[in-house]
Amino acid sequence: MGPAAEPRSVPGVHDPAAPVRPAARLEVGVVTLSDARDRTRHPRGSAGRRRDLAPHPRTTVRGIDEDAYWEYLGSSAHAGYQQSPQWGRARSGDWDPELVGWYDADDRLVGVALLRSRSLPVVRRRFAMMAQGPVIDWEHGDLPDLLAALEAYARGHGIFALVVVPSLALRVWGPTGVKAALADPEVTKWSQVTSDREDPVGHRAVQALAAAGWHRLPQDGMLDASQPLFTFWIPLGGRTKEEVLAGMTRAWRKNIRKAEREDVVVIDGTREDLPTVQRLYAETAARQGFSVQPLEYFESMWDALAGDQPGTFHLHLALHEGDVLAANGTARAGGHAQGVFAARGDLRRQLKAANALYAEIIHGAIAEGADQLDIGGVAETLEADGPEAGLLVFKADMGGEVREGIGGWELVLSPLLHAGFTRLLPLYGRIRHLADAGLRRPMRRSRS
């Protein structure tokens, strides 16, 4: 794969610059009314076999207060900002956010999740989702029991279908593997490249979910651009800024120095800078072909994430001669730092402001104790002339690794309601787009 043009965002591939897009129709096939009624009487698994109800779990799921929630989330290896209470408030226009916890037989907290739900009209049954969650012990926990407790909670709280997108990997390609894949013109997909390692935790989770009757969602269905299957990470644990920079290509380090020589400076932004950020974002959207988010979107995000909270949110601005050239939003929960959005203006792009921004983001994440930095999604395809080529090369030159996640998994508890819901997904997508504009609803405490 040869040299590529400037980084571009790709429909269906998450880059921090890309907005969350309305969901497409879920590919569940043709479901007749009689078939749906039959499935309601006889729940089935993803392969069409009858699925027995989950056994009575020893663990229970119930509501939890925010302080206890954060205490657990902040210490988890699987924490992510999309499971933070603040993110639930930021994205709660037509979603109803609630915090739940898993408690074992001794009433010890063994897992948490931010559950966001949307109610169907008239019947008052809910569709629910856990983005980057749930946050449980996927490595050592009793997964059949933990998943059975979640199913029992869903059944008892009017949820007809539940989607989870755990922040877990199946396969990982390190810097050497990534560079080899990019250099091979015969390689067009990550699936053609032997991974550097398999993640046993991700495989354990997949086996447990499938055994419990969950089915994997198509990536272009219910999942949107904020839940990419392939993501790019920079390991930070135990490394200094200089060691991370040494892992980048010579060209990347040269561009950082160029920005410094040209007097590009990186500062922390404030709420007053959001109109400028939104303008840069609009320029990015016009250049890369995605929808523009309104100012209210950024204001809602700032109000939810930038306050006093155990996690952190940073707005970094790259300035030159008083002009803001680029902006990045980065959130951290526990040891996981992650890009939320990125905006690049059209002014003086030759000054490499984006390189200076990422150098500062890496420095700040290390200083705050982050173990890893997720800088957004990449496509599954590797064609040299594809629209994703520039974005992938830009990220690959930072010396990180590509991870293939386990994807989204759905548990359908009422096939009849689920069948109707999937037919309403185009309308649901438009409603969700309005929700993403920043309309907010208070955090709810679940009914125990």
pLDDT in tens, 135-169: 999 999 999 999 999 999 999 999 999 999 999 99
Mean local confidence (pLDDT), 325-347: 91
What is the model's pTM?
A: 0.80
- What pLDDT sits at residue 122? 77
Q: Does the pLDDT of residue 133 top 90, yes or no?
A: yes
- Full set of structural domains in the chain with CATH: 33-169+201-224+407-441 (3.40.630.30), 174-194+228-405 (3.40.630.30)
- Lowest-pLDDT choice from 37-51, 172-186, 390-404: 37-51
Q: What is the CA radius of gyration of the chain?
A: 22
**Residue 214 to residues 14, 162, 246, 446: CA-CA distances in angstroms?**
25, 9, 43, 23
Q: What pLDDT band is residue 219 in, cutting at 50, 70 and 90?
A: confident
Rounded to an integer, what distance in angstroms lies between the CA atom of residue 318 and that of residue 330? 14
Highest mean pLDDT among 3-17, 199-213, 394-408: 199-213
Digit-coded pLDDT (tens) for 247-273: 999 999 999 999 999 999 999 999 999
| Percent above pLDDT 70 for the chain | 79
Q: Which has more pLDDT, 81 or 7?
A: 81
Contact 297, 37 (CB under 8 A): no
Highest mean pLDDT among 4-18, 26-40, 57-71: 57-71
Highest mean pLDDT among 33-37, 76-80, 103-107, 333-337: 103-107
Rounded to an integer, what distance in angstroms lies between the CA atom of residue 155 and that of residue 427? 25
Q: What are phi and psi of 4, to 5 degrees?
A: -130, 165
Mean local confidence (pLDDT), 232-244: 94
Q: Pick from 334, 282, 275, 341: which is nearest to 314 by CA?
A: 341
- What pLDDT sits at residue 428? 52
Q: Which has more pLDDT, 64 or 391?
A: 64
- Lowest-pLDDT choice from 51-60, 104-113, 321-330: 51-60
Crossing angle of helices 33-41/415-423, nearest 10°? 140
Q: Does the pLDDT of residue 432 top 50, yes or no?
A: no
Strand partners, 163: 129, 410
Q: What pLDDT band is residue 430 in, cutting at 50, 70 and 90?
A: very low
Q: Does the pLDDT of residue 19 top 70, yes or no?
A: no
